[in-house]
Amino acid sequence: MKILAFDTSATVASVALCENTGLLAEYTVNNGNTHSETLLPMIEALLAQFSLSVSDIDLFAVSSGPGSFTGVRIGAATLKGLAFGSDKPCVGVSTLRAIAESLSVCKGLICPVMNARRAQVYTALFRSDGQTLERLMPDSAMSISELDEKLAAFGEPVYFSGDGYGVTIPALSLTEALPVPDRLRHQSAYSVACVAYAEHLKGKSTDDSSFKVNYLRLSQAERELMNKNKEEN
């Protein structure tokens, strides 16, 4: 099964082409351009390397949030555009679950963190036996101090990863952070593909029209509109 996966939930854009869980190629860019400018050219270049077209893809996968509202929307719109009318299965993967997948070979607690701004991080918690992940905490948005307290209750050192790594580690006072190489701290489309393939085998794929994203919280524009409506009422 050929899988095309991509992640645009943060600053880095990542695209991967896989045969089941075997990586054929992964293309990652962090050039400061918007994902709307880079994502489709990345996909086209990757497919061209293997003389493939979109019609050759058997499964489409994308990080479905949380993350940058704009980035998640671009990823979702691209998936729907590529899969439209094809009847090909699609899988939306939690960005945090995909981040944790990159560290699944590490035994112990794994905490993905994404910078959610407004003094918060998007986060979750998993335990790995060195191969598979067990979810211990749902995807959530919280302050780093609240996360620190929750993790301290486990009484174990923790592996952290994600684009919130840089703001989280210095703010911890109760939790020991285990070292993680820089190359494993960023979102990876390959991890999205691996999780998506497992979900598809469980019958959890959908079609492009039923695909949904998970922002976890309202966008700034939605919050401002809600506050305005409250004031008017």
Tens of pLDDT, residues 59-84: 999 999 999 999 999 999 999 999 99
Q: What is the pLDDT of residues 15-64, one digit of tens each?
A: 999 999 999 999 999 987 889 999 999 999 999 999 999 999 999 999 99
Q: Does domain 105-184 fall into CATH 3.30.420.200? A: yes
User: Given pLDDT bands bounded at 50, 70 and 90, which one contains residue 225?
Assistant: very low
Residue 221: what pLDDT?
Answer: 45
| pTM across the whole model | 0.92
Residue 112: what pLDDT?
Answer: 98
- Written as six digits, the tokens of 57 are 């893809």
Residue 141: what pLDDT?
Answer: 97
For the chain, residues classed under CATH 3.30.420.200 are 105-184
Burial tier of 48 (Cβ tally within 10 Å: 0-12, 13-18, 19+): exposed
What's the DSSP call for residue 131? Answer: S
Expressed in angstroms, the distance from the first to the final Cα of the chain is 54
**E strand segments, the chain:** 2-7, 13-19, 22-29, 59-63, 90-93, 108-117, 120-128, 133-142, 158-161, 177-178
For the chain, residues classed under CATH 3.30.420.40 are 2-95+187-219
> At residue 91, does pLDDT exceed 80?
yes
Mean pLDDT across the chain: 93
**Pick among 3.30.420.40, 3.40.47.10, 3.10.180.10, 3.20.20.70: CATH of 2-95+187-219:** 3.30.420.40
